[in-house]
Amino acid sequence: MTDLTAMNRFVDRIAVITGAGSGIGAATSRRFASEGASVVVADIDDDAAASVVEQIEASGGDAWASHCDVSSTADWKALAEAVETRHGRVDVVHNNAFTRVFGAAHELAEADWEHQISVNLSSVYRSVRAFMPALRASKGCIVNTASVRAVLGFPGDAAYTASKGGMLALTRQLAVEYGPEVRVNAVLPGPILTPSWNGADDSVVDLHARSTAAGRVGSPDEVAAAVCFLASADASYITGASLAVDGGFMAKKDPS
């Protein structure tokens, strides 16, 4: 975990993070905890969530795990009730869980389309239904994990791209709908080495690295830093924004 002992921006704050069992969600959970937050590690994979909690507690942080299938309204309701019972408040909701099934629109099974929209986009709506009263009370914030694919087209990525593009539009709408009490922003990760890259050929990783201005792929910790910034008082005048964390991928997008 990054040593941030001099940085305690989230002391006495409660952060709920979905898809927190691995990748960006796990890194964000560790980062919030290292800055003083009590973290709710929500994931559909109970063992993965428990592992992240163990890491946080081993580093002196406070966290607990909760099962949450973000496509389930019942799970969101149970999560909100558990947070209310345990903490009586919530300050940050980081909508990070995702799923992805590749396929051009004319080839993708309708069930795969619907599931990606439900997990990647409708989950943000469900988070609002579950947590907005508490977020308004605490003057909290929402940070959504979108993607550079929200604004760029890639062959064979129809549902994922549509869901992330919708997330950006919804982020702007929610910022207007619930401001000034609640801020709502999004991060747009570019090529980030998460477990979803496991098994990827080295040539694929190299191609993505050369497609960035930074000349490399990013780490989950670098996205976590951006999420925590947007959730902090340092970003108090930022809402409805989309922050690219992509090493200049959108600026370049050329492997030359």
CA angle 84, 85, 91 (to 5 degrees): 30
How far apart are the C-alpha atoms of 138 and 92, rounded to whole Å?
9
Q: How far apart are CA 223 and CA 187, in angstroms?
A: 8
CB 79 within 8 A of CB 41: no
| Beta pairing class for 14-18 and 38-43 | parallel
- Among 125, 160, 178, 237, the active-site one is 160
DSSP H or E run through 63 = strand 62-67
Question: Cα separation of 34 and 39, whole Å?
Answer: 10
Q: Which residues of 69-107 are buried (b: 16+ CB within 10 A; e: fewer)?
A: bbbbeebbeebbebbeeebebbbbbbbbbbbbbebeeee
Residue type, 28: T
Specify which residues 188 forms β-bridges with: 244
In degrees, to the nearest 5, what angle opens at C-alpha 203 toward C-alphas 202 and 205? Answer: 65
Closest CA to 130 of 53, 228, 18, 239: 18
Based on the residue annotation, tell me whether 237 is a catalytic residue of this protein: no
**Residues noted as catalytic:** 160
